[in-house]
Structure 1
Amino acid sequence: MSPDPASPPGTAPAGGALPEDGRAAAGLLDELDRLRGADLPVRGGQVTAYVYDTGRDAVHDLAAAAYLRMLEVNCLDPTAFPSIVALERQVVGAVAERLGGGPGTPGIFSSGGTESIMLAVKAARDARPVDGRPEIVVPVTAHPAFHKAAHYLGMDVVAVPVDDAFRAVPAAAAAAITSRTVLVVASAPSYPQGVMDPVEEIAAAAASAGVPCHVDACVGGWVLPWLRDLGRPVPPFDLSVPGVTSLSCDLHKYGYAPKGASVVLFADEALRRHAYFASAAWPGYTVINAGVQSSKSAGPLGAAWATLNALGARGYRDLAATAMAAADRLAAGAAAIPGLRVLGEPAVPLVAVTSDDPALDVFVISDEARARGWYFQPQLSYRGIPANLHFTLTGVSDVGALLEALEDAAKAARAAGPPDVPADLVDALAALDLDDLDDAGFAGLLSAVGVDLTTGAGDPEMAMVNTILDALPPATREDLLIRFLSVLYSGRA
């Protein structure tokens, strides 16, 4: 490849092609800093989703150092790198001890909740062969990772309703079990509203039908045990519950480890073996994988191990107490703002806030908060659950400042009013044949509703887009979001 004559020596040519000569380290790091300038901040608590911050710099620095120590260790072959076996045994054992297991409880360290769920679903499918396409029974509030796992693994999802408190209905789960059901799911808690499903009843229904039961504790699994230690009412939810056969728990959430770090536990070794994959049908090296990935860095494993040991039980109890106190205060404060109310009774530091006032739009509140330096995560309506804003509270959440921002954003949103969506736009989008529209054409469509992807910068005004999506059926939402992602990464805007 000939060098780009318009690029000075040691700089990146236009279009992202490699420079002819390597670039200096300082310049590369400076460019990373520049690119991150539009990112949401990962520290400080003003982003109420996606990131988890202890506020303890020494713990973060240790995790980063441990990550680097293990960066080039390849988890592909545990016989070549026995350190990964020792670290994984310790991490899985520590999680199992707090979640109804013991030193011998089998588990797998994975890259995140989606992979942990994928492994649990695969294990259940392979452990229980059925005639026809296997099915999994999930509450409508279950994480989309179950739908993703079913999509990848050739299975069907049977979604069952929740009650007025957003808790799964055990009778509905039991009634949905058929001869093709291979797994029944409960959440502890569900992400959208932070409420606990009745795990004991759902697991009992699954067990009586001879079907495995998975508890998705990805978001709450590493905060619930510490809240229980602190005297908070925590209903039984883990491997100690009869009928629970697997459980997922993310350590990069309330374990405060760097991403990606998760653990999936199994009630017995036979079920864990069904999560594994092996292939000898080729002439190359032996392939045996505990997870979905083959080659992967041991950096996240080392960082998770270091974080767990650095914080210890006392550290996690302190962080859980602080985060839950913040959630309680936010729930009370949000309910006192005219037009707003909290959905359900959060069992963990997750709070969902909706508006009962047609003049106060939650999507506009989200945009107004973003303009004030805060990120409040919008959640679309679904099966009678209204559109709302999701808040994840952590050890650094400044609830006073958060409530002030929420109240200011609500006042501004009330003054601005809901987005003015053209009457025929939703119908037109619902009828749109996306197969006849290339990425450039779709980018033009986005521009028409106020979304400009040409700069790649943050702080988009998304109220109009979210309002439109909220009015569309879920399948249409999915098609549009896939096209949005394609445009975003292709640079066709």
Structure 2
Amino acid sequence: MNLPPAGRSTEDLLAEIARLKEHDLPVRGGQVTAYVYDTGRAAVHDAATRAYLEMLEVNCLDPTAFPSVVAMERQVVGAVSDLLGGGHGIFTSGGTESIMLAVKAARDFAAAKDRATADSATADSATADGATADGAARRLAPGERPNLVLPVTAHPAFHKAAHYLGVEVKPVPVDLETYKVRPGDVAAAIDERTILVVVSAPSYPQGVIDPVEEVAALAARAGIPCHVDACVGGWLLPWLREAGAPVPPFDLSVPGVTSLSCDLHKFGYAPKGASVLLFADPAMRRKAYFASADWPGYTIINATVQSSRSAGPLGGAWATLQALGREGYLELGRATWEATRRLRDGLSGIPGLRVLGEPESSLVAFTGADVDVFVLADEARARGWFLQPQLSYAGIPANLHVTVTGVTLAGVDAMLKVIAESAHAARERGPAVLPEGLVELVAGLDLEAIDDATFAELSASVGVDLRPGSGQPEMAMVNAVLDALPPASREAVLVRFLSVIYGD
């Protein structure tokens, strides 16, 4: 029974939470190099936590009922706008929601533009011929879908947004030396159905910045909006630049950039979920909004995908920005850049390892010439360090990803020592050996035809225990299987993993 017959004490509940978290990765200290962002400053996190709790029960649904929401959001969005070239913004729950709204705004903006063009053409035809021309000059024929043009390294949130919003994705390859998109390839992919061009600053997989100026310029010449995904880099790159990093222009000050997403729960170090979506034109921001008067209840006008939502994340973001201030972020930027430099230099000295590209940010990916990186990741996890595996894709080899944060500098030497030891151990263990025929078996499975229990048994056969409370699993085998499968099969397998983990 999930609901207790009577209420439980706070002490009892907190004790159970501690038990449930027993196998969680640590969120402080820098040994988890993905998912969490740590300043190493307890006072800042305390301020954010207290502000979060103070705003926890305030509802962002109606800003006229809670003016504190408007005041805080204006300050938070204003700080991001000041740092990233101006613009008009929306506070959202995270990068995925910011990206979802950017795609919605571009889709609706294009649709409005098409209607205006069609209406103008119809009026011109009526004037000339005394009759109307139905649907004249519309860009989309019936049944056609608008499309996004983006690099293969762009975040899957764009694919998710396209899936939800009825938009097609046109992926463009990246240069396999620099891992950046080539402007010429973007230009070749644009067609009459393109509603948005996307670049990353930086792209998550290798931490490199796409050529924003060139791509934004060609998008502008084509009359198409250009979105910069700076979810990771928006609140990082300006401070790295001040610390001496060679960061090219990427924000709304770049001609042709029409929108930009920036997560504050990443290098803004705010509690999750906190992100800001900026638009160069307030008319485009209005296209991200949703309003409905088609019912007899209360007024519906939403700036985000959500309606009712806690102001806790907004309060936490506001407090974090205020607690750190410009000097605090600059100090964190300096420490982050120094840690990144030392990590890159250290990795180059470990036999068999190679950094992919030349990251302009503090996201570093490395691969192994004679080392199975998935086995290396398991060895590092056994030593208390989490390195994020990334599967091979579009000519990019399987690799491990490290997000360097403000707290990393204090532990970068320890991290390099663990990576070197883990590489040596992985080399001695050898690569993950897949049972003969397993990949073909998985690829040929009709996953819709088997139940979760059967899938769990299949997972257990390759050493992956999906039962709750089973702790941190070794993942080299499952990553090797996924790496050998085509993307569509990977997706189907991952959906079943999630289904089994959460159960009924």
Counterpart residue identity of residue 107, structure 1: G
Amino acid at match of 1:162: V
Q: Select 1:214's aligned residue among 227, 236, 254.
A: 227
1:405-430: CA deviation from partner (whole Å, max 9, x where unpaired): 10111111111110110221111111
Are 2:4 and 1:19 equivalent residues in the alignment? yes
Pairing partner for 1:117 from 86, 93, 99: 99
Shift, 1:458, TM fit: 2.8
- Of 44, 49, 73, which residue of structure 1 is paired with 2:58? 73
Question: What residue in structure 1 maps to residue 165 of structure 2?
Answer: 153
- Is 1:481 matched up with 2:494? yes
State the Cα deviation string for residues 205-235 of structure 1 (Å, max 9, x = none). 1111100000000001101111222232111
Q: Could you say which residue in structure 1 is the equivalent of 2:40?
A: 55
Unaligned runs of 5+ in 2: 112-138
Decide whether the 8 Å contact of 2:243 with 2:337 is kept in 1: no
Residue 126 (structure 1) aligned with residue 139 (structure 2): no
Q: For the residues of structure 1 that align with 2:239 and 2:152, how far apart are their CA atoms?
A: 27
Q: How does 1:314-329 map to 2 (within 5 A)?
A: 314-329=327-342
* Kept after mapping to 2: 8 A contact 1:371/1:459: no
Residues 90-489 of structure 1 mapped to structure 2, 5 A cutoff: 90-101=75-86, 105-129=87-111, 130-131=139-140, 132-163=144-175, 164-357=177-370, 360-397=371-408, 398-489=411-502
Mapped partners of 2:30, 2:365: distance in 1: 17
Q: Percent sequence identity over matched residues?
A: 69
> Cα distance, 1:19 vs. partner?
1.1
Which residue of 1 is the match for residue 120 of structure 2?
none
Following superposition, the deviation at residue 454 of structure 1 comes to 2.1
Query: Which whole-Å deviations, capped at 9, do the CAs of 1:232-254 have from their partners, x for residues lacking one?
Result: 21111000001000000000000
- Encode CA deviations 1:122-167: one digit per residue, 9 max, x unaligned: 0000000241201000000000000000000001000001112100
Matched residue SS, 2:22: helix
SS at match of 1:91: helix
SS of the residue 1:44 aligns to: coil
Matched residue type, 1:100:
G
- SS of 1:138's equivalent? strand
Q: Secondary structure at the match of 2:21?
A: helix
Count of residue correspondences: 471
AA at the equivalent of 1:468: V
Task: For 1:207, give the aligned amino acid.
Answer: A
Q: Is the 8 A contact 2:373 2:389 kept in 1?
A: yes
2:210 match: secondary structure: coil
Deviation per CA, 1:331-372: give whole Å up to 9, x if none: 111111111000011111110010112xx1000000001100
TM-score by length of 1: 0.95
Cα deviation for residue 455 of structure 1 reads 3.9
Residue 160 of structure 2 aligns with an amino acid whose one-letter code is K
Report how far residue 37 of structure 1 moved. Answer: 1.0
SS of 2:435's partner is coil
In structure 1, distance between residues paired with 2:278 and 2:198: 14
Secondary structure of the 1:128 match is helix
The letter for the 2-side match of 1:404 is K
| 3-state SS, counterpart of residue 38 of structure 1 | coil
> Do the aligned partners of 1:120 and 1:246 also contact (CA within 8 Å) in 2?
yes
Is the contact made by 2:245 and 2:337 (CA closer than 8 Å) also made in structure 1? no
1:6 maps to: none
Q: Aligned AA for 1:123?
A: A
Query: Using the alignment, how far apart are the partners of 2:457 and 2:294 within structure 1?
Result: 48
What is the TM-score normalised by the length of structure 2? 0.92
CA RMSD across the alignment: 0.9
Assess if the C-alpha contact under 8 Å between 2:48 and 2:270 holds in 1.
yes
The Cα shift of 1:456 comes to: 2.8
- Would you say the 8 A contact 2:226–2:257 is kept in 1? yes
Write the deviation string for residues 33-62 of structure 1: whole angstroms up to 9, x where unpaired: 110111000000000000000000000000
Task: Give the residue type in structure 2 aligned to 1:382.
Answer: Y
Q: Distance in 1 between matches of 2:406 and 2:57?
A: 31
Give the aligned residue type for 1:76.
L
Contact 1:100–1:239 (CA<8 Å) still a contact in 2? yes
Alignment-mate amino acid for residue 50 of structure 1 = Y
Stretch moving more, 475-484 or 455-464: 455-464
Q: Encode CA deviations 1:447-469: one digit per residue, 9 max, x unaligned.
A: 11111122433320100000010
The one-letter code of the counterpart of 1:367 is D
